[in-house]
Amino acid sequence: MSSLAHKQICVIVSGGIAAYKVPDLVRRLRDEGAAVRVVMTTAATGFVRPLTFQAVSGAPVHVDLLDPAAEAAMGHIELARWAELVIVAPASADFLARLAHGLANDLASTLCLATAAPLLVAPAMNRLMWANPATRHNMNLLAQRGVRCCGPNEGSQACGETGAGRMAEPAEILAAAIGAQAVGALSGLRVLLTAGPTQEPIDPVRFITNRSSGKMGYAVAAAAREAGAAVTLVSGPTCLPPPAGCCCVAVTSAADMFAAVLDHVAQCDIFIASAAVADYTVSVPAAQKMKKEGVALTLTLSPTQDIIRAVAARPGAPFTVGFAAETERLAEYARGKLQAKSLNMIAANLVGLPGTGFESDDNELSVFWSGGEKQLGKASKHILARALVALIAERYRAEAPHPG
């Protein structure tokens, strides 16, 4: 039986073009056995008619703060008491700002303030609005209060721009809603995670790097935070906004990342090394920009420090999870790395294939540990991240020493 069976879920629809996807979310919630009631802001009714939501939810739709059809004209209190989970989708920048600062000037915002139910928001807005420091501050405030966040995703937007700000797909929001009903699998634990590429300087204007976008690592960080962990993310250079509620440490080179990890590793229970760290760095970077001389150039490279090996070798090492990006013989190479570096678990994927891996929104993971493995299949990186975090939590508790 689904964890949403017989759950009472209030879906709040704020103004935004992504509102057209929300009837599908309501349908999926009902397919899981949930009872759904929909609240719309006035702006939302300009994108989707209330009658649509009434048809898919099987219940009247609420828009007005003082709804004469509601019990004693106190609809916000009635709904706030009824709801066992509140989902805001899409959650516009305006609605998130009002929610973060406790405003209550319509039915939707007042309901959020009056309910004791968990809140799950699915942001949707222009990429610059999502990246704006005011929005980042508001999201951090909400995360500190325990509000869960699903998305946003990257991609083309209705405004014609491309970037982070697309509302998560209904399937992703459904998965987050299911997760919100369970006690956080990582509650009380501290997770240290690396993500993104590193940049190894050649001279002041050039560097060696790789194709990692950081998307998978950032998704894992967000999933770990959703699962209740205190998350510290050590990130190489990316264009991604910091995951809400995570402590973020920005680094550039492999040496920077090594130092940052050592600064934080003693305080963590789980270490997840998803960063694509350079294996080699330029031995002596040029102090000034190197000029093109028209002849072959030779660079002397030195191996970088192996971060995950160093962490796994520490006395009382945390539960250590590695990543392996391979182009062939996936299981063989992943299991070899698992054993050679004394890891507890490794997540591996094939890169160089269309539609998955580096720079893509989707991935396909195979996870290995001593005596076991699990195929997580192909899905969006956000969905895979939640599945991976659930598996990490399961293996962490299976391998944790038991008193007596």
Active-site amino acid positions? 159
Instruction: Kindly give the residue spans of alpha helices, DSSP state H, lying in 115-226.
Output: 127-131, 133-144, 170-180, 215-226
Question: Regarding beta strands 247-250 and 200-203, do their DSSP bridges make them parallel or antiparallel, or are they unpaired?
Answer: unpaired
**DSSP assignment, residue 183?**
P
Pinpoint the alpha helices (H) of 70-211: 75-82, 93-100, 107-114, 127-131, 133-144, 170-180
Cis peptide before 90 (omega within 30 of 0): yes
Q: Is 146 helix (H, G, I), strand (E, B) or coil?
A: coil
Cβ-Cβ contacts under 8 Å for 208 (sequence gap 6 or more): 199, 200, 202, 278, 280, 281, 282
Alpha-carbon span 112 to 86, nearest angstrom: 8
Residue 259 identity: A
Judge contact between 268 and 232, C-beta under 8 A.
yes
